[in-house]
Amino acid sequence: MSDGRGTNASGGVVEQLKPEAAYCTLQNGRRACLMVFAMQDAAQMPPTLEPLFHANSTLSLQPVMNLDGPRAGLTGTGR
């Protein structure tokens, strides 16, 4: 946004999330920022991401895990 709301909002979110990695790119002809971060609890999403909604951002969250996640999850299934 030309008024700086998007920049200020994304900077605050980056400070809160402390991403392991962040990449700026284009998606569907629009500016995009991809961040990899650890979320301890889904309850973190509303207060952390609210500033981006106020900046008229479009958000998409995709949960992922490293190889330890599936191993831990499948331990109790006998697989």
Note the pLDDT tens digit of each residue in 39-76.
888 898 888 888 888 888 888 888 888 888 888 888 87
Which are the contacts of 70, defined by CB distance < 8 A and separation ≥ 6? none
Tally of structural domains, the chain = 1
Q: Which of 30, 78, 43, 39 is nearest to 62 (CA)?
A: 39
Instruction: Find how far residue 11's CA is from the centre of its chain.
Output: 13
At residue 2, the pLDDT reads 46
Domain that holds residue 59: 5-75
Q: Dihedrals φ, ψ of 30, to 5°?
A: -120, 150
Task: Give the global pTM.
Answer: 0.65
